[in-house]
A and B are shown apart, each in its own frame.
Chain A
Amino acid sequence: MLDGITQKLGGLMGLRRSNLAVPILDGVFKPNNLLEEAKVLSEREGMEDMAIAPDGQLLVACGSEVLACNDKGGLSLVAGYDAPVTALVVLPDGRRVVALGDRIEIDGEAEPLRDAAGKPFRAITSLSLSRDGTLLICDASAQHDTTHWRYDLMEKGASGRLVSVDPSSGAAEVLQSGLQWAYGAWQAQDGCILVSESWRHRLRRVGKGSMGEMPGYPARISPTADGGFWLAVFAARMQIVEFVLNETDFRREMIATVDPDYWISPAFSSGKDFLEPLQGGGVKQMGILKPWAPPRSYGLAVRFDAQRVPVMSVHSRVGGENHGIVTVLERGEEVLALAKGAGRLLQLDAGTIRRANAIGGEYV
């Protein structure tokens, strides 16, 4: 209790700097270069999500189109829409379901799904299927659409929700509301539903609390054959962003006067413009200048086992390009990662990932 009081007092006096602590990338999260060294299967600006159809076909949402990707990375048009596709899933019967920001279109259905529980959708970031075939929809925010995600972060938005919709009957249920940017959902074998809450850096167990703090901003979740899952992490956490989030006046001024691309905030990609903040720094230690680069953007995906314990990770570090991982899918011994920041579809070998993370005692 005493600690709680002193924390509050410290906060009032502006001394709560210890709260800026962010988990470091160590242990399972120890950086490697696997994402950066991954084979680039396909490259195109605007890639947003991907899904595997029951027949094994890989579908990629890119801009306002859904494309089919063959084994050599060739892309062919499957369908076009009147708005950018923000999420994609394929039902067990082969029908495509696409989210177009504030609505969902299901193949064969005349009318798009625009609301749930009497509230319209605003920013649909993820579509996935639960074990009984219902659609799990992440509506990230009620205030900002998907392109204005930075506003939601800087305004500390907490209006996201997780909705389940039966695709046949259209019956909808809000499973969780008040989420801070819901960006992915998945149902485990035991029935527990996990939803990633990006601004809280955590995976939330619907109705049952949350799993520990993540060193980054979690995005979409996809299942694996062994009952575990892959979690895409679209950016790494930084102390300076946590600091800015504590400084209300600064944030207000930044929102009002600075182009969002140059805000002090995480990004899907960086290093493309000299006006970007946080480009580099250095510390002098024992007379040697050690360059230091803050990870404004980063590439990270984490594999969890069936017990929901993180077991391995793949990275593209600060100097790399394959940043802003939003979706990871496992197809046999192949792991596919979508780097939104680089506009790349990456292909990795599951065995190489296991060996690099010393799973099973091997190591390369």
Chain B
Amino acid sequence: MTPVLEMKGLTKYYARVAAVEDINFTLFPGEVHALLGENGAGKSTLTKMIAGVVEPSSGEILLDGKPVRIDTPAEALQAGIAMVFQETSLVPSMTVAQNLFMGNERFFNRLRGINIAAQQFMQALNFQVDPTALVQTLGAAKKQMIEIARAMLSEARIIVFDEPTATLTPEEKKHFFDLVKTLQKRGVAVIFISHALEEALAISDRITILRDGKHVVTDQTTNFDRDSIVQAMVGRSLSEELYGTRKKTVRRSGERVLQVSNLRMANAVRNNSLSVFAGQVTGVFGLVGSGRTETFKVVAGALKRNYLNGGEVFIHGKRVRYRVPAQSLRQRVAYITEDRKVEGFFETMSIKANIFIGWLAKAGWKAFWIRRKQVDVIGKDWAKSLNIRSVTNDAKVIELSGGNQQKVVIAKSLIQDPDLIIFDEPTRGVDVGAIAEIHHMIERLADEGKAVVVISSYLPEVMQLSDRLLVARQGRIVEEFSPLDATEEKLMYAAVH
């Protein structure tokens, strides 16, 4: 069978540094091909070259066995190559239907017409999205659906999914996998990039692994297991270190740092009560929409609870009600967001500037006396202590890999020397190497006596890290487990029933 897409010796240099080097890759019609690698391994560069976003330095791309030159994304789309990005490329102020047909408008458009067409098309894909809704009002999962629908609408023969499931709920993921199977039956070839290795093992026909911009291995999925993938990705076995061993000891709890009583916030948090103790990692597990994030955003002052009957929040036994997050910072509460790109950092600012912003938020009057040199020192020290890898300390955060970006966000919070640190999905979109580092950091903070909260949808992670496990469902904590006697089944049962 002729491959629908073939890359031969593809290389891309940035300032004499090879981002990808001598990559050979084939993709057959109706094949799901997983592309795996740590952040910075070159997956994005490779797919950007296919999509016409980046021009290769050498090598060639063949479509249906014929060499082609793809200079722009429009040309890629014309050739039947569509990309669905992790960060959605939708226009937030436009409706679902308008986003869907953007670039394909006729000279005279009827809003009603495109709404109906969009409705029909979304229904055919079994996506429950209102075509008249503004994109900015939708959640991450629905935005992802629109992205996928857009790719389908352009009748693509090759679809590249970059971390498509990171923001989806389990039901939506199942939906997505069904959709991929439908695409497969239609002969569409899929390149699937994900950090969720289980998903890659479940969905793909073949797996290609990259490391440091170089091709490591391509083989049938049946020849891989989780450990061998991790080994190939990082060149060492991290699986055992990350999630392999079952927790045998738990830290003893210290003082009660946070007490939440009967907290209510609109429909998201309903009569929620919980405590967090010093010197422990408190894991919070729950499905998307269980009110975990909202509860802790109220604690950190980023959201406000109901004005009446909103419940109580106590920090160190003192009743608090924050109007702005700065007040919570002063009481040594840090919230490390799940959506780092929107809420975590200023992407066009440097690492040191971002870390320094964290310092400024806490500094108060001291901020008037800071010298430029001190900013450098602060940035350098934190980059070193958290092992933030970049070409220079002046590198913009947007240029860093997901794991390093997350470390910048963490550094920005830790510089405030908080007592209560809330990590919301700390390893989402982070490569396995950085996951291990972030996990060690969380453990270290708990050992130092800090009260640490880890909100995670990934069961092995939350079970491995936590000294106490809280399960959230429908806006409240419904059950508490000790990680010593908890099982994935028990946790999932509590989260669903």
Contact = CB atoms under 8 A, between A and B. Distances in A.
B279 to A, nearest CB: 9
B261 A28 contact: no
A24 B470 CA distance: 13
A18 B274 contact: no
Interface in A4-42: 6, 10, 15, 17-24, 26-28, 30
A310 B280 CA distance: 14
B259 interface: yes
Nearest to B310: A18
Q: Per DSSP, are chain A's interface residues mostly helix, strand or loop, or mixed? A: mixed
Interface stretch (A111-119, A153-161, A333-341, A355-363): A355-363
A286 B275 contact: no
Contacts of B252: 311, 359
Given A21-B261, A23-B259, A23-B275, A28 B317 contact: no
A286 B497 contact: yes
Contacts of B277: 27-28
Given A15-B308, A361-B248, A309 B255 contact: yes
**Those 6 A-B pairs whose CB atoms lie nearest each other, nearest first:** A361-B249, A21-B261, A363-B484, A212-B317, A24-B273, A21-B262
B485 interface: yes
Contacts of B485: 363
A19 B482 CA distance: 30
Given A18-B312, A19-B312, A311-B252, 11 more contacts: A2-B323, A6-B307, A18-B310, A22-B261, A24-B274, A286-B497, A309-B255, A310-B253, A358-B250, A358-B484, A363-B482
B254 interface: yes
Contacts of A3: 321
A26 B480 contact: yes
A253 to B, nearest CB: 25
Interface of A: 2-3, 6, 10, 15, 17-24, 26-28, 30, 212-213, 239, 285-286, 309-311, 358-359, 361, 363
29 contacts: A2-B323, A10-B308, A15-B309, A17-B308, A17-B309, A18-B312, A21-B312, A23-B261, A24-B273, A24-B275, A26-B274, A26-B275, A26-B470, A26-B477, A27-B277, A27-B480, A28-B253, A30-B480, A212-B256, A212-B259, A212-B314, A212-B317, A213-B314, A213-B317, A309-B254, A309-B255, A310-B253, A358-B250, A359-B252
Nearest to B247: A361
B80 interface: no
A105 B190 CA distance: 88
A27 B468 contact: yes
A196 to B, nearest CB: 16
A213 B273 CA distance: 14
Q: Per DSSP, are chain B's interface residues mostly helix, strand or loop, or mixed? A: loop
B262 A20 contact: yes
A24 B468 CA distance: 15
B289 interface: no
B468 A18 contact: no
| Residue picked from B252, B273, B468, B477, most chain A C-beta under 10 Å | B252
A22 B485 CA distance: 28
Nearest to B481: A30
Contacts of A286: 497
A236 to B, nearest CB: 14
B73 interface: no
Given A3-B321, A286-B497, A361-B249, A27 B275 contact: yes
Interface string B268-309: 000001110100000000000000000000000000000111
A291 to B, nearest CB: 15
Contacts of A239: 262
Contacts of B480: 26-27, 30
B273 A21 contact: yes
Contacts of A10: 308
Nearest to A212: B317
Contacts of B312: 18-19, 21
A18 B309 contact: yes
B52 interface: no
A236 B314 CA distance: 20
